[in-house]
Structure 1
Amino acid sequence: MPLTDATHDLESRTITITADFAAPVERLWQVYADPRQLERIWGPPTHPATFVDHDLTPGGRMNYYMTGPDGERYYGFWRITQVDEPTSFTFEDGFAVDDSFAENPDLPVGSNTFTFEPDGDHTRMTAVTTYPSAEALQQVLNMGVIEGATSAMGQIDGLLAS
C-alpha cells in the first residue's frame, strides 16, 4: 500500500495523508484530471464514486456521489480554488443534501490541498484538509473519514498498474 502516514491534529484542525506511488507526477495527476479514473479511487471500495460534473479549473465544480452496498447514495462536491498542473490543486470538499448537490449545512466543508512531488521515479502525494473548527474535524473523524480516505487511496496502485 502506498500510504506512508495519516494523522490528524485537533489544534490545527487538520488531517494530513501522505502516500508514495511508483509513477511520475504527470501520471498521478491524470488520476485526478480524468473523471473516469478518479471514480475508481475516490471513495472506499465499498462506496464507489460517480462524478456527474468534473471541472478541474479554478472556479470549477466537481459533483459526485458514492453508492453504498445497499444502493444508497451519498452526495458531495468539490469547489476548485487553485490549480497548478501537474503539481497541486486546492479545493473545498463538502457534503451535499441530495442530487441537487446543494451544500449540506449540517456537515462541515474541508479545505483541501493535494500536492504531487517527484521523488526519483516515484511521486509523493500529500493531502492536507483543514476544517473550520476542532469540532468540525472531530465530526468527520467520528464519521470515519481517515479510514475511508486511506482505503480509497489504497486503490491508486491498482489503477496505476492497469
Structure 2
Amino acid sequence: MTNNFTFETDLAAKKIYVSREFNAPVEKVWRAWTEPALIDKWIAPKPWTAETKTWDFTIGGTWLYAMIGTDGQKRWVYAEFTAIENGSAFSTTGMFCDSDGNPVTAGPKSYKDTKFISIEGNRTRVDSVITFEEESTVKMFVENGFKEGTAASLGNLDELLASE
C-alpha cells in the first residue's frame, strides 16, 4: 500500500504542509506520536537518535528532547503543547533550546498543528501544518534537508508501527 507522502512549502504564507498515510489504525498512530518511549524510537532520521528529557502532554505542558548526531552531540528542541484534542489533534510551539529548555532566542520559532484522520482500510493519515515567523526560516529548513529528514523519520514510524 502506498503511504502518499506530501511535503509542500508556501513561502508567502511561511508554511510547510506535510501529509503522510500509515498502515495502522488512528489509535496506534496517535500513541506513537504521544508516548515519549515510542517517539524516541522513530522521530530522528537514522543514523541519528532521539532522547526525551521531559514530557508533559497537557495544554501548557512541554516536551524537551535531543536529536543526537553520530558525533554524540545533542541538539536540543523544546515544544509547548498549545492545544490537544485527545486522539485526533494537537498543536505545539517549538524552538531550539539548551539542555535545560532555555530557548535560543535568536533561533527560529515554529507553530505546528497535527491532525490524525482515520481513513479507509483501518489506516491513518497524519496532516501537519508548520508555520514560521520568517520566510527565511522556511527556506533554511528546506535547504538543510527537512523534507528528506521528515520522510526518513516517517519511514521509521512505519517500521515501528509494523513491529508493535
TM exceeds 0.5? yes
Whole-angstrom distance in 2 between the partners of 1:56 and 1:45: 25
**Which ranges of structure 1 fall in alignment gaps of 5 or more residues?**
none
What TM-score does the superposition give when structure 1 sets the normalisation length? 0.94
2:50 alignment counterpart: 49
1:2–1:154: 8 Å Cα contact kept in structure 2? no
Quote the residue 1:33 is aligned against. Answer: 34
The Cα RMSD (Å) is 1.3
Q: TM-score, normalised by structure 2?
A: 0.93
Residue aligning to 1:101: 101
Residue of structure 1 in register with 2:110 after alignment: 110
Give, in angstroms, the shift of residue 144 of structure 1.
2.1
- Alpha-carbon separation, structure 1, partners of 2:70 and 2:127: 29
User: 1:54 offset after TM fit, Å?
Assistant: 1.0
Task: Rate the CA distance shift 1:134–1:115 in 2: closer, same or farther, 3 A.
Answer: same
Structure 2 residue runs of 5 or longer lacking an equivalent are: none
1:118 counterpart SS class: strand
Cα displacement string for residues 38-79 of structure 1 (whole angstroms, at most 9, x for unaligned residues): 001112112211011111111010000011011111110111
Q: Alignment identity in percent?
A: 25
Report Cα offsets for 1:82-117 as digits up to 9, x if no partner.
000111000012111x21221112221110011000
**2: CA distance, partners of 1:34 / 1:50:** 12
Indicate conservation of the 8 Å contact 1:76/1:94, yes or no. Answer: yes
Secondary structure, in 3 states, of the residue corresponding to 2:92? Answer: strand
